[in-house]
Amino acid sequence: MITFEQLKKQNELILLDCISGSIAYNLNIAGSDIDKKGIFIMPRNQLYGFEQQQQISNSTNDEVYYEIGRFLELIVKNNPGLLELLSTPKESILYRHPLMDLIKPEDFLSKLCMDTFAGYAQTQIKKARGLNKKINRPLDAKRKTVLDFCFVMQSNGTIPLKEWLQINNFSQQQCGLVNLNHFKNVYLLYHQNQLETGKLNGIISSPDANEVLLSSVPKSITNIAVIHFNKDNYSIYCREYKEYREWENNRNDLRYQETLTHGKNYDSKNMMHTFRLLNMAEEIALYGRIIVRREDRNFLLSIRNGEFQFDTLMSMIDEKMELIKELYEKSSLPERPDIKKAESILLQIREAYY
Q: Let me know: does 32 contact 22? Beta carbons within 8 Å.
A: yes
State what percent of residues in the chain have pLDDT above 90: 72
Select the CATH number that applies to the domain covering 1-108+337-354 from these four: 3.30.420, 1.20.58, 3.30.460, 1.10.1740.
3.30.460
d(CA 115, CA 122) in angstroms, rounded, equals 10
Q: Whole-model pTM?
A: 0.66
The candidate with the shortest Cα–Cα distance to 349, out of 91, 78, 70, 108, is 70
pLDDT digits (tens, 9 = 90+) for 130-189: 555 555 556 677 889 999 999 999 988 999 999 999 999 999 999 999 999 999 999 999
C-alpha neighbours within 13 Å on the C-beta side of residue 119: 11
The pLDDT assigned to 244 comes to 76
pLDDT digits (tens, 9 = 90+) for 188-212: 999 999 998 999 999 999 999 999 9
pLDDT value for 137: 58
Task: Report pLDDT for 260.
Answer: 47
Specify whether the CB–CB gap between 69 and 76 falls below 8 A: no
Where along the chain do the CATH 3.30.460 domains lie?
Answer: 1-108+337-354
